[in-house]
């Protein structure tokens, strides 16, 4: 019999790629969607992948426990992937309370809905490498202590530990994936990779002349969302729920990532890049580098798409977006 999955955050980058993966594995896929007046825009990623009509969308919000209980009662999912969050670090200083309500307490809401209605479901929590923040070890593994550096990271740390706690308290099959940054053509435009590839496409097509960035010395371990959603699924196929670091094991500066994008478009980065002090953060995560050894050994998982391939794919997708816009006049 086909398995049933419930994805919170299905309209986001990972939600869309995960839905695509689960559909191709024969799942019946349900997704929680925040009601808004722009439903057509919200489902743009599912449309981009051509799967909008293949998933069941249900109105809901991670802050609304009664709605979550109702959804779990109706869907009775075999697997729940909790990807919904206020996910942008910089916004979390502007909206710290909302970030806490959704990204932290929202995890307890969905766990409570499962505990009350369907405790046998397997649960995945989208934890984040941002929890390492001010890094305590040069390479971060499952054993590395956390030191969050933003309201977002503090909220994610709560979500991580409440997942561990429900596993230990109630024996739930709850796993947490500590995912390092991962990107794709479907990445939100506010994140630095997509801001860069979109900016390069705008410069290439004559719509802009400069690209303004903040701290380009920051280093991240960047992978591709398509690879990372496969790791989420693999975690829930294990007999025992555990936590895993998902990363490439390579770290790169924002500057060098940016250079790949400009070079791919045949542009000279020095002619266009402007450093804007306004874009620096109140507290920075200078460098992240993950050690994915456990995922490799236990899940047989490793990243397959390189940073270079991914950035080129993103630049091409953004160039295509602008070409088709001008084509429509």
Phi/psi region, residue 173 (left: phi>0; alpha: psi -120 to 50; beta: rest), is beta
Q: Between 90 and 294, whose beta carbon lies closer to ligand GDP?
A: 90
Burial 162-200 (b: 16+ CB within 10 A, else e): bbbebbeeeebbbbbbbbbbbbbbbbeeebbbbbbbbbb
What is the Cα 81 distance to its own chain's centre? 12
Q: Does 42 sit near ligand NDP (CB under 6 A)?
A: yes
Interacting stretch for ligand NDP, rule CB under 6 A, among 55-63, 196-204, 252-260, 309-317?
A: 55-63
**Contacting residue, 15, 151, 199, 292, with ligand NDP by CB under 6 A:** 15
Residue 258 parent element (H or E):
helix 254-264
Q: Between 65 and 269, whose beta carbon lies closer to ligand NDP?
A: 65
Enter the DSSP assignment of 140: B
> How many positions of this chain bind ligand GDP (CB under 6 A)?
19
Q: Does 71 sit near ligand NDP (CB under 6 A)?
A: no
Angle at 91 between CA 88 and CA 94, to 5 degrees: 160
Going by C-alpha positions, the residue among 192, 191, 210 that lies closest to residue 200 is 210
Distance (Å, whole) CA 261 – CA 240: 41
Shortest Å distance, C-beta 12 to ligand GDP: 13
Shortest Å distance, C-beta 257 to ligand GDP: 9
How is 290-327 classified by DSSP, letter by letter?
Answer: B--HHIIIII-----S-HHHHHHHHHHHHHHHHHHHHH
CB 29 within 8 Å of CB 101: no
218 contact, one of ligand GDP, ligand NDP, none, CB 5-8 Å limit per kind: ligand GDP
Shortest Å distance, C-beta 170 to ligand GDP: 31
User: What are residue 181's phi and psi, to 5 degrees?
Assistant: -55, 135
Q: Does 147 sit near ligand GDP (CB under 6 A)?
A: no
Residues in the chain: 329
**Contacting residue, 48, 93, 147, 191, with ligand GDP by CB under 6 A:** 191
Distance (Å, whole) CA 169 – CA 128: 23
Shortest Å distance, C-beta 59 to ligand GDP: 28
Interacting stretch for ligand GDP, rule CB under 6 A, among 47-55, 133-141, 189-197, 290-298?
A: 189-197
Distance (Å, whole) CA 257 – CA 148: 24
Q: Does 310 sit near ligand NDP (CB under 6 A)?
A: no
Q: Does 220 sit near ligand GDP (CB under 6 A)?
A: yes
Q: Which residues contact 103 (CB under 8 A, 6 or more apart)?
A: 85, 86, 87, 92, 152, 155, 156, 159
**Contacting residue, 3, 52, 63, 205, with ligand NDP by CB under 6 A:** 63
Shortest Å distance, C-beta 187 to ligand GDP: 8
63 contact, one of ligand NDP, ligand GDP, none, CB 5-8 Å limit per kind: ligand NDP
Site for ligand NDP in 146-205 (CB under 6 A): 179, 181-182, 188
Shortest Å distance, C-beta 139 to ligand GDP: 17
Q: Which two tokens stand for residue 87?
A: 């996910």
Q: Does 153 sit near ligand GDP (CB under 6 A)?
A: no
Residues forming the site for ligand GDP (CB under 6 A): 89-90, 130, 181, 190-192, 195, 213-216, 218, 220, 254, 279, 281, 284-285
Residues forming the site for ligand NDP (CB under 6 A): 8-9, 11-15, 32, 34, 42, 61-63, 83-87, 102, 126, 128, 179, 181-182, 188
């Amino acid at each position: 019999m086909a398995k049933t999955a419930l994805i919170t955050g299905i309209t986001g980058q990972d939600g869309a790629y995960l839905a695509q993966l689960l559909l191709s594995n024969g799942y019946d896929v349900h997704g929680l969607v925040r009601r808004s007046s722009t439903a057509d825009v919200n489902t743009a990623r599912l449309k981009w992948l051509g799967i909008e009509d293949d998933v069941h969308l249900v109105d809901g919000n991670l802050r609304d426990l009664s709605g979550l209980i109702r959804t779990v009662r109706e869907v009775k999912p075999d697997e729940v992937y909790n990807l919904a969050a206020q996910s942008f670090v910089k916004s979390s200083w502007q909206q710290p309370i909302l970030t806490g309500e959704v990204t932290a307490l929202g995890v307890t809401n969905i766990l409570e809905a499962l505990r009350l209605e369907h405790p046998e479901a397997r649960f995945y929590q989208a934890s984040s490498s941002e929890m390492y923040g001010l890094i305590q070890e040069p390479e971060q593994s499952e054993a590395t202590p956390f030191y969050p550096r933003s309201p977002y990271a503090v909220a994610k740390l709560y979500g991580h530990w409440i997942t561990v706690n429900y596993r230990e308290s109630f024996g739930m099959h709850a796993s947490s994936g500590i995912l390092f940054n991962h990107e794709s053509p479907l990445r939100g435009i506010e994140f630095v990779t997509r801001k860069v590839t979109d900016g390069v496409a705008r410069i290439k097509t004559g719509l802009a002349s400069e690209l303004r960035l903040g701290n380009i010395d920051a280093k991240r371990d960047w992978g591709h969302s398509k690879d990372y959603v496969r790791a989420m699924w693999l975690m829930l196929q294990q007999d025992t729920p555990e936590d895993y670091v998902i990363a490439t094991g390579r770290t790169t500066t924002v500057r060098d990532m940016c250079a790949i994008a400009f070079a791919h478009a045949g542009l000279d980065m020095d002619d266009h890049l402007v450093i804007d002090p306004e874009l620096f953060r109140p507290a920075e995560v200078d460098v992240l580098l993950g050690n994915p050894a456990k995922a490799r050994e236990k899940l047989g998982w490793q990243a397959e798409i390189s940073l270079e391939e991914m950035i080129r794919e993103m630049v091409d997708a953004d160039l295509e977006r602008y070409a088709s816009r001008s084509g429509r006049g």
